[in-house]
Amino acid sequence: MIKPYESTDFHLLENWVTDPDMLFGFAGTEFSYPITQEQIVNYQQAQPDRRFYIGYTDDNTPFAFGEIILQEDNTQRLGRLLIGDPTLRGKGLGVYFVKQLIAECVRLYNTPRVDLYVWEGNDPAIKCYKSAGFTFVDADPFIIKNNGQPYTIIKMSISIIK
């Protein structure tokens, strides 16, 4: 299940984001390490239409963080996706979480499509997104840099059948 992120959930991010590379992998260049509650608050104030969520296992253990971003064409984009506890990665929880976020997009916005961007070399994430139903989109990739290293970012989408 997913629940809206609350400021009291910040300790989860603080514990899950253990180094600058992990922060970059989950949040791109939006935040700086170490992540702080002030960065999150400032981001939410600057982007009030974006929604953060925490994913929970069946036994109510928090395991994931993600964001729903409204786009101009009445579709949504998922961003800042993270399976926090490394011991819970590779167990299908990422697919479960992504599907929960897609369902939330449909519930809130009756969206026809959900997009996301992923680093081209992030094979575990790409496998997860494909398993959730996303496919690559014929769109020009773009480059972001982290510590001088270029990362190619590609777009994936899922069409919602109504």
Residue 161's pLDDT is 84
- Range 16-30 average pLDDT: 92
Mention every residue, 6+ apart, whose C-beta is less than 8 A from residue 26: 17, 65, 80, 81, 82
For position 26, what pLDDT does the model report? 87
Total domains in the fold of the chain: 1
How buried is residue 10: exposed, middle or buried, by Cβ count under 10 Å (0-12/13-18/19+)? Answer: middle
Buried b (16+ CB within 10 A) or exposed e, 16-50: bbeeeebbbbbbbeebeeebeeebbeebeeeeeeb
CB atoms under 10 Å from CB of 88, counted, come to 16
- pLDDT grade for 85, boundaries at 50, 70 and 90: confident
Place of tokens 């480059």: 143
For residue 15, give the CATH number of its domain.
3.40.630.30
CB of 92 closer than 8 Å to CB of 64? no
Token digits of residue 50: 């974006």
How do strand 113-119 and strand 76-83 relate by DSSP bridges?
A: parallel
Confidence of residue 11 (pLDDT cuts 50, 70, 90): very high
Q: Mean pLDDT, the chain, as a whole number?
A: 95
CA end-to-end distance (rounded Å), the chain = 22
